[in-house]
Chain A
């Protein structure tokens, strides 16, 4: 009997330990399950034929994010059909920024005619998982051996305020390279943006 209890607690301990490890292991997975402005939930696995994704952490309130809706629509129309859809995620702390509430997100997506999902990351887990620090912050995920790998992190392009003066279209250049099975020549850029305030 005592031996059985011992065996049982050993089993429990092993289970707990392995659970701990599996949570750790999941960190390398970039998938999420977040509510879209349309009311549906969206995950990466909803796109079985996608070669990659353009994931953009953005929000309503940030003046820099406000410069990009049209360019995000453009990126999605261009790359969705090539197997690289764009997904926008708002991970803003809605207690600090009421303008980023889910209702306001719905309004924003409607007013700006978003042609891509705009997801609410209320728990801020997706932002933490990607390491998103500010808005807008773009990532390119690419499928390699059935795993998602980050191939680019940074700005969408090199001129927020004046779209007609953009010299480097970082995101679209990187996607073009990946579609041609080339190495991304600029895998990381830095930009000014609104810091994502993580609730403690």
Chain B
């Protein structure tokens, strides 16, 4: 047996990639530069695709390959390219001011991770399975952490573009949870969520452009001026 065929090796690789995914999420919280944020998101999605691939490889589950390929295509390549073009078109490069300052947000993210662990712990012990079937099960806390931190980022950011990014990373968390718990939802549901998010991202992108045209700013808090 070659060493990469050993499920233990696969487990290590998945664990490692999951940790990197989490680190990238926190990097996104800490980074002010939009372009870096988008790239971090791209790498994160790429790693997710890799995790899905690994699980698919060891379990021989074909439909996860499809989900992984879709993730790679849309979230790791297409969306980042679109967002990057959007950013260069509206000529902003920096998230000026999040509501909570960076060190504190980073530390809050740390706490959210801890919370995710507490929430996931009972689920994890219940679902402990031996061998290949248990592969990737331990990424559940990471998935929940991605979700929570993504949510926090949506609350914390002012710019619509960064909110889109936060939403996307939140969805990454859902995806990870899905593959870690059930080896993927039924393909059709997966596709549904996928295109839902994609379309949402597109609409938001257009909206962002419009908001800027109208208000000369992307600050979402200014939308409150719309009410009569």
Partners in one complex: no
A-side residues, CB < 8 A to B, are none
B-side residues, CB < 8 A to A, are none
